[in-house]
Amino acid sequence: MTPARLPELDEIVAAAHVVAIPTRTRFRGISVREAVVFDAPEGASEFSPFVEYDDAEAAPWLAAALDFGWREQPAARRERIAVNATVPAVPADEVAAILARFPGCTTAKVKVAERGQRLDDDLARVRAVREALGPEGLVRVDANGGWSAAEAIDALAQLAACDLDYAEQPCASVDELVAVRRGIGERGIDVRIAADESVRKAEDPLAVARAGAADLLIVKAQPLGGVRRALSIVERAGLPVVVSSALDTSAGIAMGLHLAAALPDDLLAGACGLGTVALLDGDVTASPLVPERGSIAVRRPALDPSLLERYRAAPDRAAWWRERLARTSALLRSPR
């Protein structure tokens, strides 16, 4: 998890800029996305674990940021990455406006199982996406572990009418994912199961593959400790993957693009969830990594000083992030 060369804390802090960027639509309960971006020797990088994560969970995100910012990355196998649209848990009548932010994307991932909403809300939203994309488009759903196994089986039985590509993390635990795969198989429901949190938040990210709990994996560069470690996990798991993001700025999206670009052809399972800068109402670069004709070029955009100033976090929040940097950096240096 630790980069080959771990820069000193003073160097890390000197390269850091703390930003707070509003979202266009409330997403994952977030209306302002906070992040630390680095003007690092190898190019812009990002450290943006969600604020509720403890230091131990945040440490791999810092390892990823330091590896990407201070170390040359694996060679790319492709120059552009196809991406999916991401549809938050919005009312069905807002779906068309969300999809318009992802020009050329023929695959969409739709958030479901949102707290305070009902399955009828999910059905309406997914149907609206299916109608907008047409029969040739791919529709995925992401429950973020929000259902029990029984709820997931019932929900997928109804959502399957929308011809789903896959259902991402319908339940929280590996055992529940196994039960869902078995249950939908017994009922003849043809929906693949993808694992996200069961990989990136697990002490053993390979457990889901060993248990036969998923048909494919969703991998994110930051929480898995960086491009190299994510590639190692993917190769050992032996399952096809989709690379996704965690509502990153373009600095973090670049890391995900480099991961997707380095994957062998037989392990990259279609459009990736790396178009989410379109959900932010701002960015840290004048050349944001947003979809063009359904894909994004693999590159590292430069940080823009005027945008870093415009979205500079309030002093108390900047101090909070600098303290978090110090604590997580200490964890990376501590013997194991």
- Per the CB < 8 A criterion, the answer to whether 251 and 46 are in contact is yes
Q: Would you list the DSSP string of 256-298?
A: HHHHHHHS-GGGB-SSBB--GGGGBS--SSSS----BTTEEE-
- Tell me whether residue 168 is annotated as binding: yes
Distance CA(290)–CA(245), nearest Å, equals 13
- Tell me whether residue 93 is annotated as binding: no
Pairing of strands 164-168, 138-142: parallel
Q: Which residue among the candidates 17, 111, 229, 258 is catalytic per the annotation?
A: 111
Place of tokens 């004709």: 293
- Per the CB < 8 A criterion, the answer to whether 280 and 20 are in contact is no
Residue 23 neighbours by CB distance under 10 Å: 18
- Per the CB < 8 A criterion, the answer to whether 256 and 221 are in contact is yes
Residues near 65 by beta carbon (within 8 Å), at least 6 away in sequence: 36, 38, 45, 46, 47, 222, 255
Would residue 220 show up in a list of annotated catalytic residues for this protein?
Answer: yes
Tokens of 246: 């965690």
Place of tokens 């790396």: 274
Q: Which residue among the candidates 101, 220, 228, 300 is catalytic per the annotation?
A: 220
- Tell me whether residue 165 is annotated as binding: no
Would residue 109 show up in a list of annotated catalytic residues for this protein?
Answer: no
Binding-site residue ranges: 142, 168, 196
Give catalytic residue positions.
111, 220
Binding-site residue ranges for Mg(2+): 142, 168, 196
